[in-house]
């Protein structure tokens, strides 16, 4: 296994060094176009945020239902030790954080 890892890391290193060498050779007259870079980033993030705005609440709801179903299948001692409400709070907190990412991205102009 270590032999395969060494071969893969050697190949990645070789490709990286070659790519850096080629880029430094051809990068003499290049400038950074901020507007084009921003529009490229927006083309990826706008569909992603619109997808997450409807998918995350549905996934959180489905996960909460699944947690409750699994919790009802446990015996009473386990139910008292790990109430399902604690897990649902974690799921909802994660969903709120992911949903807040779209607002954070709008603040930074993405």
Backbone conformation region of residue 75, classed left if phi is above 0, alpha if psi is from -120 to 50, else beta? beta
Number of domains in the chain: 2
Do 82 and 55 share a domain, yes or no? yes
Q: What is the pLDDT along the chain (110 residues), one digit of tens a residue?
A: 567 776 667 667 776 666 666 555 555 666 777 888 788 877 887 887 788 888 989 999 999 999 999 888 888 888 888 888 888 999 999 999 988 877 777 777 66
Residues in the chain: 110
pTM above 0.75, yes or no: no
Do 100 and 52 share a domain, yes or no? yes
Do 69 and 46 share a domain, yes or no? yes
Do 19 and 39 share a domain, yes or no? no
Do 23 and 52 share a domain, yes or no? no
Task: Write out the residue range of the structural domain in which residue 17 sits.
Answer: 1-30
Do 88 and 48 share a domain, yes or no? yes
Do 52 and 95 share a domain, yes or no? yes
């Amino acid at each position: 296994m270590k032999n395969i890892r060494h071969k893969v890391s050697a190949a990645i290193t070789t490709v990286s060094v070659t790519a850096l060498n080629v880029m430094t050779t051809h990068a003499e007259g290049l400038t950074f176009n901020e507007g084009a870079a921003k529009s490229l980033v927006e083309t990826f993030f706008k569909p992603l945020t619109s997808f997450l705005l409807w998918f995350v609440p549905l996934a959180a709801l489905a996960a909460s239902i699944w947690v409750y179903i699994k919790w009802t299948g446990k015996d009473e001692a386990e139910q008292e030790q790990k109430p399902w409400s604690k897990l649902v709070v974690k799921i909802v907190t994660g969903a709120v954080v992911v949903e807040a990412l779209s607002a954070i991205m709008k603040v930074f102009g993405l």
